[in-house]
A = this chain, B = another copy of it.
Amino acid sequence: MLTIGIDTKKKEPIYEQIYKYIRNEIKNGTLTRGTRLPSSRKFAEYLDVSRNTIDLAYSQLLSEGYVESKPKKGYFVADVDEILEISDVLQEEEETAGKKETLPYEFAPSGVDMGHFPYNTWRKLMKNVLMDDNSEIFQKGDSSGDYELREAIRIYLHQSRGVICNSSQIILGSGMEYLLLLLSQILGTDYTVGMENPTYLQAYRVFTQLGYKVLGISMNEMGMRIDELAKSDVQIAYVTPSHQYPTGTVMPINRRSALLKWAAEKEHRFIIEDDYDSEFRYYGKPIPALQGNDKNGKVIYMGTFSKAIAPAIRVGYMVLPKQLLAIYQEKLSFYSCTVSRIDQAILSEFIREGHFERHLNRMRTLYKGKNQYLMQQLKIFGEDIIVKGSSAGLHVLVEFKGLEDHDRFEKSLYEKGVKIQRISHYYITGKPEKECYILGFARLGETQIREGILIIKDLYDKFRIRKEE
């Protein structure tokens, strides 16, 4: 008889304990293939539990393939080589997959703080979605997304971003990459795309992958240089005017006008406005989207809930000018919307019931606090650094004075557990005049920020001194 200590007092169910015990015995080879398990009666009597408790444990083992049942004869340990192999492979691959080991101090510009995700609200809404009288949502939905959600987004974009459109112009899709794919089907790929340099590389990769010619357009403190744009043969300008990625530059009104004017000059010119983190602005008045000033149907506005809610949600949207919408409807409306309708329904309620706004405010306060704390900590550098773009977004830009060997500096930081990205990696062509470091703070707590900055300071001093020697 197997020796097993069961604990009725524990919250873990008895059958679960039995199941796990036997499973382990099988896994580690104590119980070999073909061995007969004790009969449910004997075992039940021995353990002084009900037979059905044993039954439950046995049937779980059965359904997972650890044992086989021969009716009226007994339960026998199955050939578990396959199962074992699978879990072995699983472990191995997990090791390799988990190779993107997270360092203790990741100042990554991507990523958001999920500690404050409204799990309970989300769960409640989920439940409602599944309970409500709408099994209809389990059928196929609208090609560009559910009307309710598009309408909710329209209202939100209108009120908080000044975007002017009607809900039919909004196309939902699972992520910006997919939306760009769709857009490429609308526009065709026979264009040259102009991107701010440096820029959001993910978008750059998509464009080049899709076969676009991509040109990096220089930036100054007002954003993309329109004169350079006008001289080039670029027809599509991809910009992030609200908060340029990664520099944090905000495009002022006259530059915006110039950009819109540029687009209006020729028929096949368009502007893709990626409003990727417009939600988080801490000082000064919010800057409306470019799209709101576009009178000529030239701006394709794109946004996402990845930063504001969670990357896992994977809901993005784009607002098409009517001219392009017509093409979409004619040529592409047979594509089904890629966003799960359950998520759409939840998100729709989330916005409509005001949770989104509350959540945004909460997160804005939270991030503002982190931002301020980071700025506070950075003061230990005194005059040795220049900080840029700290009034918005989830990262700041830092230029360390008197630093030359950036590669070694970055590597040393990495070895100390600090991961920082450099702005030069975001350049399509050329290099920055001054190397800058991108300090994302969204996922970090105050302790991490403080300790991380101290490590950076420490190394910075070493590297700087070494240079001066």
Residues of B contacting A90 with CB < 8 Å? 147, 151
Chain A at the B interface: SS class:
helix
Identify A139's interface contact among B166, B168, B311, CB under 8 A. Answer: B311
Q: What separation, in Å, do the CA atoms of A157 and B412 have in the docked complex?
A: 46
| Residue A417 lies at the interface, judged by CB distance under 8 Å to chain B | no
Residue of B nearest to A311 (CB): B140
Residues of B contacting A112 with CB < 8 Å? 139
Residue of B nearest to A189 (CB): B211
Closest approach, in angstroms, between the C-beta of A4 and any C-beta of chain B?
15
Closest approach, in angstroms, between the C-beta of A222 and any C-beta of chain B?
30
Residues of B contacting A167 with CB < 8 Å? 93
Residue of B nearest to A337 (CB): B314
Closest approach, in angstroms, between the C-beta of A302 and any C-beta of chain B?
15
* A94, B147: Cβ atoms closer than 8 Å: yes
| Residue A177 lies at the interface, judged by CB distance under 8 Å to chain B | yes
* B338, A312: Cβ atoms closer than 8 Å: no
* A312, B342: Cβ atoms closer than 8 Å: yes
* B332, A209: Cβ atoms closer than 8 Å: yes
- The complex is assembled from copies of this chain, and their number is 2
Which residues 395-453 of A sit at the B interface, judged by CB distance below 8 A? none
Tell which of A10, A117, A135, A136 has the most Cβ of chain B within 10 Å.
Answer: A135
| A178-B338, A338-B314 as given contacts; A130 in contact with B134, CB under 8 Å | no
| Residue A142 lies at the interface, judged by CB distance under 8 Å to chain B | yes
Taken residue by residue from 13 to 41, chain A's Cβ proximity to chain B (1 for < 8 Å, 0 otherwise) reads as 00000000000000000000000000000
| Residue A341 lies at the interface, judged by CB distance under 8 Å to chain B | yes
Residues of B contacting A133 with CB < 8 Å? 7, 9-10
| Residue A258 lies at the interface, judged by CB distance under 8 Å to chain B | no
Which residues 301-323 of A sit at the B interface, judged by CB distance below 8 A? 310-314
| Residue A239 lies at the interface, judged by CB distance under 8 Å to chain B | no
* B131, A8: Cβ atoms closer than 8 Å: yes
| Residue A220 lies at the interface, judged by CB distance under 8 Å to chain B | no
Q: What separation, in Å, do the CA atoms of A114 and B342 have in the docked complex?
A: 14
Identify A314's interface contact among B86, B97, B334, B340, CB under 8 A. Answer: B340
Interface CB pairs A-B, < 8 A, 27: A7-B133, A9-B132, A9-B135, A93-B167, A93-B168, A97-B147, A111-B140, A122-B130, A123-B130, A138-B310, A139-B312, A140-B311, A140-B312, A174-B339, A175-B338, A177-B336, A181-B181, A185-B209, A205-B334, A206-B335, A312-B340, A313-B340, A314-B338, A314-B339, A338-B338, A339-B340, A340-B340
A8-B130, A119-B131, A343-B343 provided; 18 other pairs, C-beta below 8 A? Answer: A9-B131, A90-B147, A93-B167, A94-B147, A97-B142, A100-B136, A111-B139, A114-B138, A123-B127, A123-B131, A141-B312, A177-B338, A185-B209, A205-B334, A206-B335, A209-B334, A314-B338, A338-B338
A residues with a Cβ closer than 8 A to B are 7-10, 63, 86, 89-90, 93-94, 97, 100, 110-112, 114-115, 117, 119, 122-123, 126-127, 130-142, 147, 151, 155, 166-168, 173-175, 177-178, 181, 185, 202, 205-206, 209-210, 310-314, 331-332, 334-343, 354
